[in-house]
């Protein structure tokens, strides 16, 4: 007598059902993400440093710096991107927006004389190339 079985016949059915169920879960309309919405970066200026000392951004990204002073009057300047704002004493935040149109490392300087360590009050803006945009 032969020991052959007929189990192979059933295999295809369950796979077909899974594929059908998956199609129903797909979202009908993905929410559009506004491309122009700037990323907000909070910066604290204090004698004699910026916090954070280094800001990393991507080429083409628009950044809104929200800068406030932790003590007296300071300034924030990024020459390359024409950022130049006075930061008043008292912690009131100052907004300044720019688009990182160039790749590289750029100094963030205090543009208001704020005391003995003023010359050393520096931060760094690092703009790196976008993923996939490398030449």
Distance CA(87)–CA(79), nearest Å, equals 16
Instruction: State the nearest-atom distance from the C-beta of 85 to Cu ion, in Å.
Output: 13
Instruction: State the nearest-atom distance from the C-beta of 73 to Cu ion, in Å.
Output: 8
Residue 76 touches Cu ion, criterion: CB under 5 A: no
Residue from 46, 64, 118, 128 touching Cu ion (CB under 5 A): that is: 118
Query: Strand (E) positions, 1-135?
Result: 39-46, 49-51, 54-58, 62-69, 74-78, 83-87, 94-99, 104-109, 122-128
Q: What does DSSP assign to residue 72?
A: S
Nearer to Cu ion, 46 or 64 (CB): 46
Nearer to Cu ion, 45 or 127 (CB): 45
Instruction: State the nearest-atom distance from the C-beta of 40 to Cu ion, in Å.
Output: 23
- Three-point CA angle 28, 30, 34, nearest 5°: 155
**Which listed range, 10-18, 58-66, 82-90, 112-120, lies at the site for Cu ion (CB under 5 A)?**
112-120
Residue 117 CA: distances (Å) to CA of 21, 86, 112: 65, 17, 12
Which string of x and - marks every residue 82-111 that binds Cu ion (by CB under 5 A)? ----------------------------x-
DSSP 84-110: EEEE-TTS--EEEEEE--S-EEEEEE-
Instruction: State the nearest-atom distance from the C-beta of 93 to Cu ion, in Å.
Output: 17
Contact positions vs Cu ion (CB under 5 A): 110, 114, 118, 121
């Amino acid at each position: 007598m032969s020991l052959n079985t007929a189990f192979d016949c059933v295999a295809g059915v369950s796979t077909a059902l899974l594929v059908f169920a998956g199609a129903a879960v797909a979202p009908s309309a993905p929410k559009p993400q506004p491309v122009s919405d700037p990323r907000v970066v909070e910066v604290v200026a204090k004698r004699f440093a910026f916090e954070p000392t280094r800001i990393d951004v991507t080429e083409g990204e628009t950044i809104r710096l929200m800068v406030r002073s932790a003590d007296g009057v300071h300034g924030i300047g990024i020459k390359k991107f024409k950022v130049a704002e006075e930061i008043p004493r008292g912690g009131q935040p100052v907004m300044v927006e720019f688009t990182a149109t160039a790749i590289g490392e750029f100094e963030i300087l205090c543009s208001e004389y704020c005391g003995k360590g003023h010359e050393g009050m520096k931060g760094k803006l690092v703009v790196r190339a976008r993923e996939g945009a490398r030449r």
